[in-house]
Structure 1
Amino acid sequence: MDPVRATPRGALSSPAVQRNTGPILEVLKSHLPARGEVLEIAAGSGEHAAAFSGALPGLEWQPSDPSAEARASIAAWAEAADLPNLRAPLALDVLDEATWPEGPFGAVVCINMIHISPWAATEGLMRLARRVLPVGGLLATYGPYREAEVPLAPSNAAFDESLKSRDPAWGLRDREAVASAAKAEGLALTRRVEMPAENLTLLFRRVR
């Protein structure tokens, strides 16, 4: 059974977040700038935002999510954390450019969105990253992917089927298709990092 975690009033909690926060943070520590502003897309419960901003005090962390329920949870975690570098959540939807901030941000982080959204959301993420990142700025994505040269793990195959049964527009994306969408917006895939539970962190840099 997953451990029960005490949560602030009004906050959501995810066992998956509890498991993946440490490994993701280790990658981010190695590649995020020491100082600057980070925009988190689809921040969900807000647990990542609280943990990352606490561990990276030199960065101003800006969480965002299109869901009002998620933003309420993010705000609850932020209030409990009481960190000077964790901002109030933005109502940002990658499918609606009118909600996008102007930036600039030193980095954009997107965890577990690409497979639980339509393909247009991935394309929107790449356009947004081009808008708010300077040349050399980092986009970090995390989640499960399909890869032509790597057999799909049975757990990921089952997860893919589960996602598609919930919404046919969802599902694991091909890594090269995501890299191509990024390239079209001037972002180059610079690093692939294997993560626990058959996930990947993909790091992109804006090159033009």
Structure 2
Amino acid sequence: MNQADGLPYSQACENNKQAILSVLRHGFAQATQVLEIGSGTGQHALYFAEQLPHLTWQPSDQGAYLAPLCLRVSLATHLDNLALPLTIDVMQPWPCESQQFDALFSANTLHIMSKAMVEAMFEGISQHLALGGVCCLYGPFNYQQAYSSASNREFDTWLKTRDPLSGIRDIEWIIQLAARAGMRLMADNEMPANNRLLQFLKEA
């Protein structure tokens, strides 16, 4: 993929997709349907659908970002396991209604959301991730209310300048929200550029 098609492009997606895939190959090995929250440019959705053909990959994003995402997906005619994107605003009822997925993925979303939006996202996950399902969340996190790197500190400052309600989240808080949603942390994977990939299991 490149910028020649005029679609939105994220270099970060290209940089991190292989590292993320190395975790998803194992974490989603038994899954069949994945819901991605905040698919953005759609680069991850296309790449993971290509690399994990046993999965049906369901992208989604807010309405304002849906048109270019839908276009990228519609151009991927070679992928029969990539669904048309859903419009999902985590603060509103999710359009998948009573549907449940056995896997959920989201990358670089929690730090651009407000705390209320993060809480709402976990409430949605609790409703739409099936028992025994796996949830993988990628991005930067703080540990014991401390930054894991100088670059993350700088990034957090930039985020809050852009939107005071955003910011890098404490992993302890994320684990608490996950527990309320019936999920237990199974793995905390180190990723490039001071990011992590958290793998949760939905339990009874």
Q: 1:81 aligns with which of 76, 79, 86?
A: 76
Q: State yes or no: 1:142 paired with 2:171.
A: no
Normalized per residue, the structure richer in strand is: 2
The answer as to whether partners of 1:111 and 1:141 remain within 8 angstroms in 2 is yes
Aligned structure 1 segments of 4 or more residues deviating by more than 4 angstroms: none
Q: CA deviation at 1:125?
A: 1.8
1:168 is matched with which residue?
164
- C-alpha change, 1:161 and 1:200, in structure 2 (3 Å) is same
Whole-Å Cα distance in 1 between the matches of residues 97 and 139 of structure 2? 24
Q: Map of 1:105-144 to 2, 5 A cutoff?
A: 105-144=101-140
Whole-Å Cα distance in 2 between the matches of residues 112 and 151 of structure 1? 16
1:31-75 deviation line (CA, Å, top 9, x unaligned): 10345110000100111001110111111110000133x222222
DSSP-derived class of the 2:137 partner: strand
Q: CA deviation at 1:79?
A: 2.4
Q: State yes or no: 1:51 paired with 2:50.
A: no
TM-score (norm: length of structure 1): 0.91
Query: Structure 1: which 5+ residue stretches go unaligned?
Result: none
**Which amino acid in structure 2 is aligned with residue 192 of structure 1?**
D
- C-alpha change, 1:186 and 1:163, in structure 2 (3 Å) is same
TM-score (norm: length of structure 2): 0.93
DSSP-derived class of the 1:20 partner: helix
The answer as to whether partners of 2:147 and 2:153 remain within 8 angstroms in 1 is no
DSSP-derived class of the 2:127 partner: helix
Q: CA deviation at 1:149?
A: 8.6
**Which amino acid in structure 2 is aligned with residue 81 of structure 1?**
A
**Which amino acid in structure 2 is aligned with residue 22 of structure 1?**
Q
Q: State yes or no: 1:16 paired with 2:7.
A: no
Percent identity of paired positions between Structure 1 and Structure 2 = 34
2:32 is matched with which residue?
36
Q: Map of 1:146-161 to 2, 5 A cutoff?
A: 146-148=142-144, 152-161=148-157
The answer as to whether partners of 1:40 and 1:62 remain within 8 angstroms in 2 is yes
2:92 is matched with which residue?
96
Paired residues in the alignment total 203
